[in-house]
Amino acid sequence: MEKKKEWRKLAILLASIGIANIGDFVYLVVINIIVFDMTGSAAAVAGLWIVSPIVNICTKFWTGSFIDYRSKRAVMMVTYGFRAAFIALLPLAPNIAIIYLILVCLSVAQSFFTPASMTYTTMLVPVEKRKRFNAIRSFCSSSAFIVGPAIGGAMILATSISWTLWANALFFVVAAIFLALLPKAEKINQATVPKLTVAQVAKDFTAVAAFLRNHQYITFIYVVFLLVMLFSFAMDTQEVVFTQQVVGLSQVEYSLLVSITGIGSIVGAAVLALFANHIPLRHMIGSGLLLMTAGYLMYAFSWSFWSIAAGFIVLGLFNVFVNAGMATFYQNHIPVKMMGRVTSMMQLGQSIFQILFILAVGVMADWFSLRLTIVVLALAMAVLACLFAISVFRPGNRPFFEDQTTNEQTGQQAR
């Protein structure tokens, strides 16, 4: 009975996150259409990739300091509310400047949501259930990747962009209602909550830096993982141009490739959800990253629709394994009391490098060729993935990947 009650809570959390994920993808489809229709500029659409990293750089210094001392569930609910409100305002925006301002506000809400969501999930999900929970969550996210754009496209055809956005806002309202059914999972003593000052942010930054220094292996694993993801992000930003201008595919073929990737992710997530408890964590992470990188290598050296499709299926399948495994590893080893700050600082560095990578890839593609640029990125990604896998599978590091390991136990090992 107790187990059923526990899984009921986790199912409600998954429903909340899953509905919000669908809302994110519906919004992503619509906002691209709006910006392109208003400007007719591919550069303006590309600018959508830059908004979130820039906002992260401006906010991540202090979002963790705000989140760690307050109710994570409340932060998530408020961000859902803000996203619903600002999405509902998009159809009323008179020009592109106002639209970008609304996008900035949505990115600010997202910058609060991600660390709060990671921390709340860690508090609510028991250690022994994290691997399966993250696998099911990956299944929900992968399904949203297919379902969200399909719903967005169907709603635009059946109604209009404005009504689609207003309906999209309701997704986040429903997600917030589901979240309200869950417990707070923590007790906040308002008297002990420090004020959000420059001195407090500096103190928290120092605490995070000290934690990362004292837990060097955990830091190494997560930083290398983020670097590999940066290479994949850089390649993804040039995906449309590479497939159509370099390989010579049509827009229809490219759309089909996106669907194939999504289906691969859904299949991988479904397999992982069924067999998560039977797959060792280090195989999910180490083998998963190597195979995902193999998919990118196939993509980089591809010459036809089917060679790219094969690469996309492989990377779609194993991207799920890597993300679910790394989420579990992170939850097991980062203390809940400072997870918001650690997550925010990591995302701050990731956002800075995302912008640098986008600019560097653009310059490389102009100076040399896009094919050579993608090949170099894929090869660099493969080297990092090999170093990562060697470290993961080293016998002495095995205790870090035990399924029942918690951050307290790892802290003792690292010291």
pLDDT digits (tens, 9 = 90+) for 342-391: 999 898 888 888 888 878 887 887 788 888 989 999 999 999 999 999 99
| Residue 47 pLDDT > 90 | no
The pLDDT assigned to 405 comes to 52
What's the rounded Cα separation, in Å, for the pair 27 and 15? 18
Residues 6+ apart with CB under 8 A from 334: 122, 218, 342, 343, 407
Q: Which amino acid is at 117?
A: S
| Residue 41 pLDDT > 60 | yes
The CATH code of the domain at 197-398 is 1.20.1250.20
The pLDDT assigned to 409 comes to 46
The pLDDT assigned to 223 comes to 92
| Residue 332 pLDDT > 50 | yes
End-to-end CA distance of the chain: 40
The pLDDT assigned to 408 comes to 47
The pLDDT assigned to 411 comes to 44
Structurally, at CATH architecture level, domain 1-183 sits in: Up-down Bundle (1.20)
The pLDDT assigned to 414 comes to 36
1-183 against 197-398: fold identical? yes
Summarize the confidence of residues 70-76 as an average pLDDT.
Answer: 92
CB contact at 8 A, 388 and 289: yes
What pTM value is reported for the model? Answer: 0.86
DSSP for residue 396: G
User: Which tokens hold the place of 393?
Assistant: 């599978």
| Residue 412 pLDDT > 90 | no
Summarize the confidence of residues 178-182 as an average pLDDT.
Answer: 93
Reported as a pLDDT band with limits 50, 70 and 90, residue 413 is very low
Mean model confidence pLDDT for the chain? 86
What's the rounded Cα separation, in Å, for the pair 39 and 36? 5
The pLDDT assigned to 42 comes to 64
The pLDDT assigned to 410 comes to 44
pLDDT digits (tens, 9 = 90+) for 84-131: 999 999 998 888 889 989 999 999 999 999 899 999 999 999 888 898
The pLDDT assigned to 404 comes to 59
The pLDDT assigned to 43 comes to 67
Summarize the confidence of residues 225-242 as an average pLDDT.
Answer: 85
pLDDT digits (tens, 9 = 90+) for 142-166: 777 777 877 888 888 888 888 999 9
pLDDT digits (tens, 9 = 90+) for 239-268: 877 887 788 888 778 778 877 888 888 888
The pLDDT assigned to 1 comes to 55
Reported as a pLDDT band with limits 50, 70 and 90, residue 415 is very low
The pLDDT assigned to 224 comes to 93
Using a pLDDT cut of 90, give the percent of the chain over it: 39
Please give the full DSSP string across 329-394, using - where no structure is assigned. HHHHHS-GGGHHHHHHHHHHHHHHHHHHHHHHHHHHHHHS-HHHHHHHHHHHHHHHHHHHHHHHH-
Domain locations along the chain: 1-183, 197-398
Q: Which of 334, 337, 132, 131 is nearest to 217 (CA)?
A: 334
Cα dihedral 91, 97, 98, 101 in deg (nearest 10): 120
Summarize the confidence of residues 203-227 as an average pLDDT.
Answer: 92
